[in-house]
Structure 1
Amino acid sequence: MEPTKSDNGDVLHEFFPFFKVYKDGRVERMMPMEKLKVPPSEDAEVRSKDVTISTEPAVLARVFAPRGTGPAERLPVLIYIHGGGFSIGSAFHRVYHEYVSLLMARARVVAVSVEYRLAPENPIPACYDDAWAATRWALGHADGNGPDPWLNEHGDFGRVYITGDSAGANICHNVAVRAGWAGLPAGVRIAGMALVHPYFGGTDDDKMWLYMCPENGGLADPRLKPPPEDLARVGCEKVLVFVAQKDHLRGRGLWYREELKRSGWGGSVEVVEHEGESHVFHILKPQCDKALDLKDKLVDFLRGNAVGKA
């Protein structure tokens, strides 16, 4: 792609919805997140803390647990992966902190919200590698001897769920594929994966993904457009896909459902669509009726219940 000129005359390598990259390598984000980050919190229902998964590379996570958990009470384990076009967002962002807190309290799960490294400073596949490292770290508590006492004491690793939105949903799929290929530790079962408005290529966003992933396989890259052999190895038992009628990614969510069925994967997949809504509306306006409906259905899924149609 040819360089373009910014208003101040600097030469840009690229221009994308979430960031600009200048000729000197400087990255300017259109939606900076730093000022919107919040520390872990303690309240009447939820406690949270930050943990270090690894230092080289630096991978962090925020762990959530409900209060009032009995000493022998075991709860499902949720791995949450935030969205943001692989380049913005954070597990520590106020919106995601509050969203995961609410899911955790309503569904009564122990949650691990992944703080993966962002592109373009950390080119893809850093986000996939970090999410996989955090998932392996969480699942490493299945024998009760992991580094985090909350997961050791209260995690039921026979009921693990993975969920995320937009780019985070794409990363969730890639984590589930790695789980299918690599296998899971003894006693671990990934019961389900929920993908909210997932990104699987096929839109103008592909140019940004290819830029952020310098070593790529083009538009057929399996991380962008999952092939049948990867879909057949998705390492969970059921999948729930949320789509929104006005979302430019709607068609790719429906495509994923059909391709997953055709691949020979042995689980069950369901789609829930919200009419009249756009991409990640549940994050942008979390108190609207349909965002509350999405949340209710996701809570039901995490509880192992059947999910009704929107």
Structure 2
Amino acid sequence: MNTHSDEVALEFPLFFRIYKDGRIERFAGTDTTPPGTDARTGVQSKDVIIDQETGVSARLYLPKTTSTSSTGKLPLLIYIHGGAFCICSPFNRTYHEHVNSVVHEGNVVVVSVNYRLAPEHPLPIAYDDSWAAVQWAASHSKGSGPEPWLNDHADFGRVYLAGDSAGANLSHNMAVRAAADGLDGVKLAGLVLIHPFFGNNKRDPLLDYLFPTMDKSGDPRIEAAEDPKLSTVACSKVLVMVAENDFLRDRGLTYYEALKKSGWGGRADMVEAEGENHVFHLSNPNGEKAAALLKQFVSFMG
């Protein structure tokens, strides 16, 4: 007997629908593409489990050229995907191809984080999962971690955090947490925030649903510009990328200005893509402005 109900209990267009029987139907980011060796770039990728209990995992990337410095090691990028905390993964084609391009153009090793998604795993679980992945990566800093690719090829004196949209929010928060809790043997060199999602003083029904325990008077993880710990961001440079027609543009600019005024001692840069929308580089990766964004991204890590 079919026990499924097609009655809809709740729907957030573009993201997901919840049926009365508890099923969740996501509208994007559910496809997967396998790891392997990319025929065009020679970039290798593979998937690893970080925490058997929670299922937190990552897709690792290794460029074709793995020795360019006197140490024979390459910068490490920890990348956190976007998707409003509730859709997408490192394994869907859009993110796989984007990160593959970053690895090829930037000649960096990448840990692309697969955190658990809300609403099944409500926020702040994504923050805890992302931190677990950062700590796992850092456990290789002395060359004795569980993953040979990181032991052999990652330079833990040149570690970058980056993400887009919700992933940019998570990346910022990892840089704040690194300052508070420390990452032994790791030098966090920089932070790249692409079209970052940060809250403002307007009510967000989706966020309210995904983060039911959030302090409605203001959570510093969401409203980063108001965070008293903003000046502690644990890196010496930050790149904030915004798009002219993005509904999140002003929030990214507010973060950028607040960071510069916070007393933080690093260098903040801001780049704006004229005439473009939110995460345009993912929806149109072959466009001229997507190519410019990729170049700016990898140049920052140079």
Q: Residue 59 of structure 2 contacts residue 91 of structure 2 at CA under 8 Å; is this kept in 1?
A: yes
Q: Give structure 1 stretches of 5+ with no counterpart.
A: 1-7, 304-310
Cα drift, residue 14 of structure 1? 5.0
2:148 is aligned with 1:149:
yes
What is the aligned partner in structure 2 of residue 308 from structure 1? none
2:39 is aligned with 1:40:
no
Per-residue CA deviation, residues 21-74 of structure 1 (Å, 9 max, x unaligned), is 23333222222x33x211111145211111110011110101111124249511
More displaced stretch, 13-22 vs 222-231: 13-22
What is the aligned partner in structure 2 of residue 92 from structure 1? 91
In 2, Cα distance between the equivalents of 1:56 and 1:209?
26
2:177 is aligned with 1:182:
no
Report the aligned-residue RMSD: 1.8
Q: Which amino acid aligns with 2:231?
A: A
Alignment CA distance shift 1:46-1:9 (3 Å): closer
In 2, Cα distance between the equivalents of 1:120 and 1:230?
28
Give the TM-score normalised by structure 2: 0.92
Moved over 6 A (4+): none
Q: Residue 206 of structure 1 contacts residue 219 of structure 1 at CA under 8 Å; is this kept in 2?
A: no
Q: Which amino acid aligns with 1:295?
A: L
What is the aligned partner in structure 2 of residue 133 from structure 1? 132
Q: Residue 281 of structure 2 contacts residue 293 of structure 2 at CA under 8 Å; is this kept in 1?
A: yes
Alignment CA distance shift 1:258-1:17 (3 Å): same
Alignment CA distance shift 1:119-1:25 (3 Å): same
Q: Which amino acid aligns with 2:175?
A: A
Q: Which amino acid aligns with 2:124?
A: P
Q: Residue 228 of structure 1 contacts residue 263 of structure 1 at CA under 8 Å; is this kept in 2?
A: no
Q: 1:221 aligns with which of 207, 216, 219?
A: 219
Q: How does 1:96-135 map to 2 (within 5 A)?
A: 96-135=95-134
Alignment CA distance shift 1:15-1:203 (3 Å): farther
Q: Residue 6 of structure 2 contacts residue 19 of structure 2 at CA under 8 Å; is this kept in 1?
A: no
Q: Residue 85 of structure 1 contacts residue 166 of structure 1 at CA under 8 Å; is this kept in 2?
A: yes
In 2, Cα distance between the equivalents of 1:96 and 1:11?
29
What is the aligned partner in structure 1 of residue 82 from structure 2? 83
What is the aligned partner in structure 2 of residue 29 from structure 1? 26
What is the aligned partner in structure 1 of residue 285 from structure 2? 286
What is the aligned partner in structure 2 of residue 208 from structure 1? 206
In 2, Cα distance between the equivalents of 1:53 and 1:295?
28
DSSP 3-state at the match of 1:89: coil
In 2, Cα distance between the equivalents of 1:25 and 1:9?
10
Q: Residue 246 of structure 1 contacts residue 278 of structure 1 at CA under 8 Å; is this kept in 2?
A: yes
Per-residue CA deviation, residues 173-227 of structure 1 (Å, 9 max, x unaligned), is 11111101112203x1111000000000138782211211111111511111023
Per-residue CA deviation, residues 78-109 of structure 1 (Å, 9 max, x unaligned), is 00111111111110111111111111111111
More displaced stretch, 290-299 vs 195-204: 195-204
In 1, Cα distance between the equivalents of 2:192 and 2:106?
14
Q: Residue 16 of structure 1 contacts residue 208 of structure 1 at CA under 8 Å; is this kept in 2?
A: no
In 1, Cα distance between the equivalents of 2:202 and 2:165?
14
Q: Which amino acid aligns with 1:175?
A: M
In 2, Cα distance between the equivalents of 1:96 and 1:223?
24
Q: 1:66 aligns with which of 63, 67, 78?
A: 63
Q: Which amino acid aligns with 2:131?
A: W
In 2, Cα distance between the equivalents of 1:17 and 1:217?
26
Alignment CA distance shift 1:9-1:26 (3 Å): closer
Cα drift, residue 112 of structure 1? 0.3
Q: 2:9 aligns with which of 4, 8, 12?
A: 12
Percent of residue pairs bearing the same amino acid type: 51
Alignment CA distance shift 1:68-1:198 (3 Å): closer
Q: 2:47 aligns with which of 42, 46, 50?
A: 50
DSSP 3-state at the match of 1:12: strand
DSSP 3-state at the match of 2:113: strand
Alignment CA distance shift 1:96-1:203 (3 Å): farther
